[in-house]
Structure formats: structure tokens, C-alpha cells
Homo-oligomer: A and B are copies of this chain.
Amino acid sequence: METITSVKNERVKAAAKLTSSAKARREQGLFVLEGLRLCMDVVRSGLRCAELFVSEEFCAKHGAEYEALVACSDEVFLVNDAVLEKLSDTRTPQGVCCVVRMAAPASLLERAPATGAPASETDVSATKLLLLENVQDPANLGAIARTAEALGISGLLVSGGCDVYAPKALRASMGALLRLPVEVVDASREGSEPVLSLLEKAEALGFKTYASTPAADAVPVTEADFSGKVLCVVGNEANGVTPETMTACAERVTIPMAGRAESLNAAAAGAILMWEMVR
């Protein structure tokens, strides 16, 4: 195992770049996880690390976890706290950090039931998907992913906005972004209007498509038909779902509110919407 003690080491600089830059992550198909809890989700998710960085203290303290991480890592480096701090975007790194290969892009609309998955997940005729369009705040993206996992939502589609591999989003999701089926709807892969072609495909595959909106004349979520295959769109925190996407969805749904509607934030609105989808 190689030892690195300089923050100017080329590998360290390259990994730190992945922490701070969504562009670097996208180009290289790699992202960074920091801390015991998130790193162990790599093991659980069957992902593979290109590089594992650990402190001596971590190896001594977490022997079993260290072994499990080594088993799914291509290269392992022993590093000091200065290097770990450079790799992480937090002030108090926890002694372990890994550069992870992104999973192959999933296609959630046509997914096959996973072998051995619980019944709720094998029944593709009841697939419930949430599409996040330009959700900007990593805390919101993370919170929505966490709630989606808790409620048993089948998967998240993410178009624009916050990068799903942003360290803050991964942390806020408590790893749910690694465990939940997530498809990044990428303009470079799908042509100029990837969300619109995705919605078209969804409808062709029998999905009911809904755009969420604060507009009071939309269908109340309590009256919407969320049986069968459902895809709901949640929009940007300030501007909501784009007009084009709104038009492309079969129906608009809203959360009827007795109080001050502007107060419901994206994470809370997402929680209530997902709850109604699976209720």
C-alpha cells in the first residue's frame, strides 16, 4: 500500500477536483465519498472504487470495514489528515475517502424487476417514479432521495439542477442516492429536449404523467389517480416545472393548502407528493 502525505500529490489533486467539480465528475465518470457511513454504502451498493484513501487510525479502528472496502477498490493509499481534508469538503474528515466509479446509466422506465427484490419492487406494473427538473439545492435533492427510499418510491429521474454526485447531496441523502435507482436525464445522451422525449416514452409505456404545481386549479393530489405506473415531476425551487414539461405531462397535480402556500419548500412538498403516490 502506497503512502501519500503531500496535498500536492497528483492523485490527491485529481480526487479533490472530483469533490469540487461536477464537470470533472461527469467527464471522468467518477465521484468522491467521504466518511465511514457513506463509504460503506459503496460496499452495500455493489459499486467499485477506483481509489481508496485511508488514515492509519481508520484502519486500526475499523478493521472489518477497511477489509470490505479494500475488496471493492482497485488501489489503496495510506494518507494523513491533511490529505483527507483536501479530498473532502468538510472540516472534520473521518479517516476514509473513496473515488467511486459511477454505475452504468439506468433506464428506469423499462427496468426489469430485480431478482430477489421485495414484491413491491418486482411489480413493474406499479412503478412509481419521481422526476426532479432543475432542483438546485443539494439539501433538497438529498432530502427527497432519502424520503423516496423510505417510502418505497421505485426510482428518481434527475434532469438538470444539482449534480446527484455532489458531496452535499450525497450526504444529505444519507446514501439514499447510492441505494435508490437513479437515472440522470442527460441532454448529451438524449437529444436537445431529453425530458420531453422521456415523457413521451413514459406515456407510450403506460405511465400516467403528472406535473406538480402550486396552481390552485390543478387536480388535488388527494383526487389524482396514482394507481399503476406513475411518473410525477417536481420542478425548480423558485420557478417550478418548466412550461414545456408542464404541457407534456398528461395532468397537473397540486397539494391543496389551508395555510400560506409559499411556505411549503421543495423537500416537504416532495414528501407529501410521494406519500400520496404510494399511500
A interface residue count range (under 10 / 10 to 19 / 20 to 34 / 35 or more): 20 to 34
The answer for the CA separation of A155 and B84 in the assembled complex, in Å, is 45
Contact assessment for A264 and B150 in the assembled complex, using a CB-CB cutoff below 8 Å: yes
Question: What residues on B are CB-neighbors of A258 within 8 Å?
Answer: 118, 120, 151-152, 278
Is A279 engaged at the interface, CB distance under 8 Å to the other chain?
yes
Q: Which of B149, B262, B263, B271 contacts A259 (CB 8 A)?
A: B149
Is A130 engaged at the interface, CB distance under 8 Å to the other chain?
no
Contact assessment for B120 and A260 in the assembled complex, using a CB-CB cutoff below 8 Å: no
Contact assessment for B260 and A150 in the assembled complex, using a CB-CB cutoff below 8 Å: yes
Scan A242-279; emit 1 where CB is below 8 A from any B CB, else 0: 00000000000001011111111101100110010011
Question: What residues on B are CB-neighbors of A262 within 8 Å?
Answer: 150
The answer for the CA separation of A259 and B268 in the assembled complex, in Å, is 18
The answer for the CA separation of A177 and B272 in the assembled complex, in Å, is 21
Q: In the assembled complex, how far is the CB of residue A172 from the closest CB belonging to chain B, in whole angstroms?
A: 9
Given A149-B259, A150-B264; 14 other pairs, CB 8 A cutoff:
A143-B265, A143-B268, A146-B263, A147-B268, A149-B260, A150-B268, A151-B258, A152-B258, A152-B259, A174-B263, A176-B263, A258-B278, A268-B268, A271-B271
